[in-house]
Structure 1
Amino acid sequence: MGSFSIWHWLIVLLIVVMIFGTKKLKNIGTDLGGAVKGFKEGMKDGSAEGDAPAGQVTNQATADKGTIDVEAKQKS
Structure 2
Amino acid sequence: MGGVSIWHWIVVGVIVMLLFGRGKVSELMGDVAKGIKSFKKGMAEDEEPVTPPPSAAPADPRIIDQQPTTPAQAKAEHKA
Q: Which of the five TM-score ranges fits, normalised by the shorter chain?
A: 0.5 to 0.7
- Offset at 1:23? 0.2
Consecutive unaligned residues of structure 1, counting only runs of 5 or more, are 53-57, 61-76
Q: Which runs of 4+ in 1 moved over 3 A?
A: none
State the secondary structure of the residue aligned to 1:21. Answer: helix
Which structure dedicates a bigger proportion of its chain to helix? 1
Structure 2 residue aligned with 1:22: 22
Aligned partner of 1:44 in structure 2 is 44
Q: With structure 2 as the length reference, what TM-score do the two structures score?
A: 0.58
Q: TM-score, normalised by structure 1?
A: 0.61
How many equivalent residue pairs? 53
Q: Which has the larger radius of gyration?
A: 2
CA–CA distance in structure 2, aligned partners of residues 35 and 5 of structure 1? 30
What is the rounded CA distance, in whole Å, between the counterparts of 1:6 and 1:44 in structure 2? Answer: 37
Distance of 1:34 and 1:2 partners within structure 2: 36
When the two chains are superposed, the root-mean-square deviation of aligned CA atoms in Å is 1.9
